[in-house]
Amino acid sequence: MLKIFDIKAKSFPVTRKIILWASGIILFLAIFFTYVTNVTIDAASDELLATLKVLFWIFICLAPFAVAAIVIFIILREKELADYYKVRNKSTLGKKVRLFDVLNMLWMAIFCVMCVYPIIYVLIGSFNQGADYARGGVYLIPRLFTFENYRVVLEKSEMWHSYLVTIGRTALGTVSALVFTSIVAYAISRPNLKFKGVIYWINLLTMFFSGGLIPYFLVITAIGLYDNFFVYIIPALYSVYNMIVISSFFKSVSNELHEAALVDGASEFRIWWQIYMPLSKPVLATVALWLAIGHWNSYFDTMIYTSSKDLHTLQYFLLQAIQSSTMTEGMTETMLQRVSAKTISLAAIIISIIPVLFFFPFVRKNFQSGIMIGSLKG
């Protein structure tokens, strides 16, 4: 068991991450259900209260195992840090604490709170009763707890359909754009590409000049992409900026590998796929994260290039829900006391960001190393 959590072990990186995140989620849910079973819940049925009680005991029983997993990881982490500081403390560098270090750490702590608190604020508001939330002053915990906001959102078939459209767009768009862009980046990185300088500067020109929205709309209409699912995929296949980032990494790969592969009879396509792509996981993970977040958060193309509700994405659904308060249409007066357009929108926002919150931790390590690609020139 210790080997799974040993941060020096290379064999179980994914398993270790899954166990740690599962442990964190279990602890959070144990605290959450402890809270909800000890507060008054607005419009709670006997079945809901009984279900919450069962979930409370389930996660309370799982909590000791989660704590044990986290403690094991912390112990091993401290052991590695102790070994690191034994070497580091032999040096005189970094031993003096300067005023800049203190101010920098203070600013970073404030910045972290500024980044995290908006999510916490939205989460708190999504669990608060609608009429009570309108009074204001809900900042740290829900004043009158309720699940009604989430029940209303989860019962909306339009929300689930837009969720599926966004998932399909994000998955297909990210993979296709990553493959297409990396192919171009590989070609640009090769020194024997004919007219390489001309091609590079033509690409670079498109980063600063474009025809504008109206000509772009006319092109989309002319090629049959208007009100078509592939309007999300084809125009986003290629990004010059991402190409430059990937090609910078490809250039750092030893040219001897390329020459050895050519001697063995490998084609350029096979060299790109079997040598360059596996060696480029950090930069590919970084670009994949950029692409996925861009697709997931996009709503403007839905608003401009589609008219069918079947193609509405999740973010466009949220935009309509926030601007026009459509999610409260047809509700009774009693229901409008329990929920409001604002609290329902907050619940929908929380549901929409869950996949992104779970996706980022698994590419964080590669993202940290890939984001610095091209920062140093030598």
Residue 223 in any domain: the answer is: yes
Residues in the chain with pLDDT < 50? 1-5, 7-11, 370-372, 374-378
Q: What is the pLDDT of residue 375?
A: 44
Whether 181 and 273 map to the same domain: the answer is: yes
Residue 22 in any domain: the answer is: yes
Number of domains in the chain: 2
Q: What is the pLDDT of residue 377?
A: 42
39, 59, 94: which is the final residue of a domain?
A: 94
Whether 66 and 215 map to the same domain: the answer is: no
Residue 338 in any domain: the answer is: yes
Whether 201 and 298 map to the same domain: the answer is: yes
Whether 59 and 190 map to the same domain: the answer is: no
Whether 169 and 89 map to the same domain: the answer is: no
Q: What is the pLDDT of residue 94?
A: 52
Whether 71 and 167 map to the same domain: the answer is: no
Q: What is the pLDDT of residue 369?
A: 52
Residue 127 in any domain: the answer is: no
Residue 138 in any domain: the answer is: no
Q: What is the pLDDT of residue 87?
A: 59
68, 94, 120: which is the final residue of a domain?
A: 94
Whether 90 and 163 map to the same domain: the answer is: no
Q: For residue 302, what is the domain's CATH number? A: 1.10.3720.10
Whether 89 and 208 map to the same domain: the answer is: no
Residue 121 in any domain: the answer is: no
Residue 125 in any domain: the answer is: no
Whether 199 and 287 map to the same domain: the answer is: yes
| Residues 247-285 pLDDT 10s | 988 888 888 888 888 888 888 888 888 888 888 888 888
Whether 281 and 364 map to the same domain: the answer is: yes
Q: Three-state secondary structure along the chain?
A: CHHHHCCCCCCCHHHHHHHHHHHHHHHHHHHHHHHHCCCCEECCCHHHHHHHHHHHHHHHHHHHHHHHHHHHHHHHHHHHHHHHHHHHCCCCCCCCCCHHHHHHHHHHHHHHHHHHHHHHHHHHHHCECHHHHCCCCCCCCCCCEECHHHHHHHCCHHHHHHHHHHHHHHHHHHHHHHHHHHHHHHHHHCCCCCCHHHHHHHHHHCCCCCCCHHHHHHHHHHCCCCCCHHHCCCCCCCCHHHHHHHHHHHHHCCHHHHHHHHHCCCCHHHHHHHHHHHHCHHHHHHHHHHHHHHHHHCCHHHHHHCCCHHHCCHHHHHHHHHHHCHHHCCCCHHHHHHCCHHHHHHHHHHHHHHHHHHHHHHHHHHHHHHCCCCCCCC
49, 64, 94: which is the final residue of a domain?
A: 94
Whether 296 and 217 map to the same domain: the answer is: yes
Q: What is the pLDDT of residue 84?
A: 61
Whether 172 and 305 map to the same domain: the answer is: yes
Residue 102 in any domain: the answer is: no
Range of the domain at 46: 1-94
